[in-house]
Amino acid sequence: MKVKVCGMRTWENIQMVAGASPDYLGFIHYVDSPRDVSKLKMKFVVQSLPENIEPVAVFVNADVDFAQGKIEENGYTHVQLHGNESPEYCRNLMSGVKIIKAFQINKEFDFASLQDYEQVCDYYLFDTSGAEPGGTGKKFDWDLLQKYEGKKPFFLSGGIGEDDVPKIKSLVMPALFAIDVNSKFEIEPAVKDSGMLGVFIKAIRNE
């Protein structure tokens, strides 16, 4: 099971969290987020990451030229699209990076709508539905994922913390590829408890 830690923003904390060896680190390019990285020298940050950690640029309904510019400028390997981006938008970004397309899940979500994205992204990310773009820090009913019959691997997100390890391990979902965590491991917005993350990551991996 892979682990992505999202919402990184300070250089010191990035170094500490990298020491816990997550598989992905997410950097949010969205000015309305308290975890926005516009003031960070992201090219330096990305180049400084250990080889085993993939850097993920997170965008929310960004202009496609803006997104492409950040990808090329900073050397991201993955892009997470957390807004209402269309399949065509995803297709325009596919060259050179892997695409993680996020969807907000609730009882009304139509999993058949994912078919439109099947050929234009590499992964899905299933998060809790909320009024605003981005995470809510709350879990959705994971039983809803039983309706997902696709084979596209997905990230599970939304209010996941240390106490959720047993439940995650009990899930029988062949397409579950990675766990995405953020606010439940924060000391304050964008500052993660690296020790807590280390324990969580080892538990998820059975280390």
- What residues does each domain of the chain span? 2-190
pLDDT digits (tens, 9 = 90+) for 59-107: 999 999 999 999 999 999 999 999 999 999 999 998 889 999 999 999 9
Distance between CA 138 and CA 159 in Å, rounded?
4
- Specify the amino acid at residue 85: E
Distance between CA 161 and CA 180 in Å, rounded?
10
Task: Return the exposure string of 79-108: e unless at least 16 CB atoms fall within 10 Å of the residue's CB, then b.
Answer: bbbbeebeeebbeebeeebbbbbbbbbeee
| Assigned CATH topology for domain 2-190 | TIM Barrel (3.20.20)
pLDDT digits (tens, 9 = 90+) for 131-166: 666 566 789 999 999 999 999 999 999 999 999 999
